[in-house]
Structure 1
């Protein structure tokens, strides 16, 4: 198992992240592609994490850091169907959290799909606010102090 990290939107790592996101969000969940990759500035500003097993990409997540506020927004957590239930999301979250700490980020925030909020709660995230809809899917904001 290996996690590769990139900020380069022309790298193979980034394209692997896009392939996973397209499969999970666009094909499986019906999110319009334009919403999935809506903001090229965010894509280029984010740190993209991709988990590989024997050279195959199975999962991804990205972190948008606001270093002025010492905060980070976790987005686009996705695990391919054949990789689910194997702890890959846990590994990605741990790696991202360590990266955030080493970048002097004090608080992490994310918009969890309701079906995934248990995963984030296990990692110390707490629900904040009310349920809302994003791309036709119900979410809730969650935060964690580092």
Structure 2
């Protein structure tokens, strides 16, 4: 998979499309909760396989952390390390901006995935868009 920082409107629309498929269609997140005010200022990532958008995420810098958000891979492309690749690209950008810590709110079903990438759970379970999550951090 080729992961890149979004730098055109077309790439941003492709990233939003992947997010809408995964979060709104598949996980039933209300569309108004999926696309929010942070999308205007976040750094967006898109992952392509054979020139087709298959993964997306966004990154913000909040309270001294690079905050990884909206990480998703289309269903028929999961289990192929694409999620890991997009996270590594995000972590590389976080480090390049002078930050040494990453943070994310993980859906609880993905907590083990993030633990394998070095993230540690620092919160109890909470609901976000009706889905159980935990907050996790990593020193880069």
The TM-score bracket by the shorter chain reads over 0.9
Question: CA–CA distance in 2 between the matches of 1:100 and 1:128?
Answer: 20
Query: Shift in Å at residue 107 of structure 1?
Result: 1.1
Aligned residue for 2:57, secondary structure, equals: strand
- Please list the CA deviations of residues 73-131 of structure 1 after superposition, one character each: whole Å capped at 9, or x if unmatched: 11001100111111100110111111111111121110000111111111110000210
Assess if the C-alpha contact under 8 Å between 1:48 and 1:62 holds in 2. Answer: yes
Is 1:111 matched up with 2:109?
no
- Give structure 2 stretches of 5+ with no counterpart: none
**How many pairs align?**
140
- Give structure 1 stretches of 5+ with no counterpart: none
Query: Shift in Å at residue 70 of structure 1?
Result: 3.2
Question: CA–CA distance in 2 between the matches of 1:3 and 1:43?
Answer: 18
Is 1:82 matched up with 2:80?
no
What CA RMSD, in Å, does the superposition of the two structures yield over aligned residues? 1.2
Aligned residue for 2:118, secondary structure, equals: coil
Assess if the C-alpha contact under 8 Å between 1:70 and 1:104 holds in 2. Answer: no
Q: TM-score, structure 1 length as denominator?
A: 0.91
